Amino acid sequence: MQSVPTLILKDPIFIQHDPGPSHPESPHRLETIYSGVTALLESEGYGGEYRIIAPRDATMEELSWNHHPDYIQRIARTSGIDHYQLDPDTATSARSWEAAIKAAGGVFSLIDRLMDGQGRNGFALVRPPGHHAERDRAMGFCLFNNVALGAHYAMKIYGLKKVVIIDWDLHHGNGTQHSFYSSDSVLYFSTHQFPYYPGTGALNEVGQGDGTGFTVNVPLGAGKDDSDYSAIFSQLVRPVVHEFKPDIILVSAGFDIYHRDPLGGMAVSGRGFGLLAAHVLKMARECCSGRVIFCLEGGYNLAGLRDGVLEVLKACRYSREKMDKILDRARTAEKSFRELDSAISFHSRYWPVA
């Protein structure tokens, strides 16, 4: 009997978003990824394990779950304009609006298929990215917050009560944090270089009101490698996720923590992304019937971006035995370091991690 496939969401429209010559968030990012995915699917042994699906458009009402209607209209009015500068870092082209509503709608499409059993897990290979997008403004290359909208969709359409968002991008996801800062239904967990753009994500940013404790930031100095990230995920992320008991896990998967990324300062290898994915996938198997959706965020070294995405996709198909073996081996290389010790000590006031 054929196993349930890993879903890959991709579409040529995402390559049509072009913020301008020499911009780091260029169409070449997805062209490189899509070429790598094609090679993976054509390789021996992977034919039936993955399924390509297409996105749908997010509606105005759906976008308004996380963004102000005036802001949505502002982005809509850029449709057909060759170049429109939204802030010093963020610009649109003639088809950016179309790409943006399909990026958010693509996350919805993946959630639909996971919830009805058509997919084992999934990866939304979309752009523009999303985690910096605020309720009422574009920021950091991002137009709409794809992962935050996915969390709203899972709760509103399927009645899920608890969503975990894990963000391993180099940069802190300010927009995602602010989307759920007062909520105890969405646990936002971020590892990020700090201090660095966008300037948010300090250790003491933990949420407010009912959401106090449900934002878990791990600010990091530069140079953290595979074993450092593995230690964070096994010693802090895992116990918090197990205590929270989510119904689904969404991942803001940024590949700018790659050791050769031109915008980054971290030291994660291509295989390191497969290791991070294995940590998340194991948590999902234990907590939420394996439901995980990865969503592309940053990553600007093309080789690292391609290799990292492929390692995540391969991890999505690991057997339980292989996953346990990889994680057991990784734990032997983990070591304590200052930022992790500080984060465990600080967040122990909210979660049983110390």
Q: Which residues are catalytic?
A: 132
**Peptide linkage before 198 cis (omega within 30 of 0):** yes
CA dist 334 to 80, 228, 237, 344, Å? 51, 6, 14, 15
The single residue listed with the structure tokens 């005036």 is 70
Q: Enumerate the H helices of the chain as residue ranges.
A: 28-42, 60-63, 69-76, 96-115, 146-158, 174-179, 226-232, 238-244, 270-287, 302-315, 320-331, 338-347
Task: Judge contact between 280 and 249, C-beta under 8 A.
Answer: yes
Kindly report the backbone phi and psi dihedral angles of residue 250, in degrees, each rounded to the nearest multiple of 5, phi listed first: -110, 140
State how beta strands 84-85 and 91-92 pair.
Answer: antiparallel
Q: Which residue has the tokens 């602010």?
A: 178
Place of tokens 């042994």: 45
